[in-house]
Structure 1
Amino acid sequence: MEGIVQLIPTMKSLGDVNKKNDVTNQAAEEMKAEPEKIDFSNVKIEPLFEEEVDFDTFSKSDFRAVKVKECVAVPKSKKLLQFTLDDGTGTDRTILSGIHAYYEPEELVGKTLIAITNLPPRKMMGIESCGMLLSAVNNLKDSEDEELHLIMVDNHIPAGAKLY
């Protein structure tokens, strides 16, 4: 059947082609830009532990990638966030972490974090916490201020992946 035209919807602009190319080129230039430089000269690093841990002791720690399914502030606590995590077992894991000063709960949902999963359960504010999320912490030189960064990994790492 001649003369029938099938229209396929697209997300392309119907505007001026040159304008489109300018926007595309500008976006490409921005992507090529150097990543933001971070000045670490004002960071105070704590000394390493002098006490050594033997391999058998270290290997008893079970570090796992966990996916944040839900994160909420714990009522009546200024510090605690309650995480509902997928640890790859098929059963949700609850971990509480005192990081509310550094993160809002909604910004952590969907992230892949690292947890130690074989610590004994500990009750905080009446809620049982089953593990600990790993963070990097540092102080600024000549200051009492502390920075905390949750260890986040690539979202392609599946829940339950073991770290060695």
Structure 2
Amino acid sequence: MAVPKSKKLLQFTLDDGTGTDRTILSGIHAYYEPEELIGKTLIAIVNLPPRKMMGIDSCGMLLSAVSNYKDSEDEELHLLMVDNHIPAGAKLY
């Protein structure tokens, strides 16, 4: 969902496989609408200390890639997503 009073932040409630939901905020609203990401399996870094943004603790970071096409000065951000068959909390190597 969009974070109230913020033009950039989206708030995610993620299943990280621990049995407790995890809240992560990410400044990607210019690239994604919240509805586009419901049910997607995203890659997140979860061993970071919480960071308060707009009064909300963000307990992790979503991984993304940024691309810049040859004929454009605009960058595009792409969240890293994996197949939905991979269970929540799976380790990456």
TM range (shorter): over 0.9
TM-score (norm: length of structure 2): 0.95
In 2, the alpha carbon distance for the partners of 1:120 and 1:141 equals 37
- Secondary structure class of the residue paired with 2:43: strand
Aligned residues: 93
Cα distance per residue 1:124-149 (max 9 Å; x no partner): 11110001000010223354311000
Cα distance per residue 1:103-122 (max 9 Å; x no partner): 10011010000000001111
Cα distance per residue 1:76-124 (max 9 Å; x no partner): 1111000000000000000000000111001101000000000111111
Unaligned runs of 5+ in 2: none
Q: Which has the larger radius of gyration?
A: 1
In 1, the alpha carbon distance for the partners of 2:17 and 2:87 equals 8
- Secondary structure class of the residue paired with 1:159: coil
Q: Which residue of 2 aligns with 1:133?
A: 62
Cα distance per residue 1:45-73 (max 9 Å; x no partner): xxxxxxxxxxxxxxxxxxxxxxxxxxx00
Q: CA RMSD in A?
A: 1.0
Compare the two structures and name the one with the higher strand fraction. Answer: 2
In 2, the alpha carbon distance for the partners of 1:146 and 1:163 equals 27
Q: Which residue of 2 aligns with 1:144?
A: 73
Unaligned runs of 5+ in 1: 1-71
**Which one has more relative contact order, counting CA pairs under 8 Å at least 6 apart?**
2
Candidates 81, 89, 93, aligned match of 1:160: 89
Aligned-residue sequence identity (percent) comes to 92
In 1, the alpha carbon distance for the partners of 2:70 and 2:52 equals 35
In 1, the alpha carbon distance for the partners of 2:56 and 2:34 equals 17
Q: Which residue of 2 aligns with 1:76?
A: 5
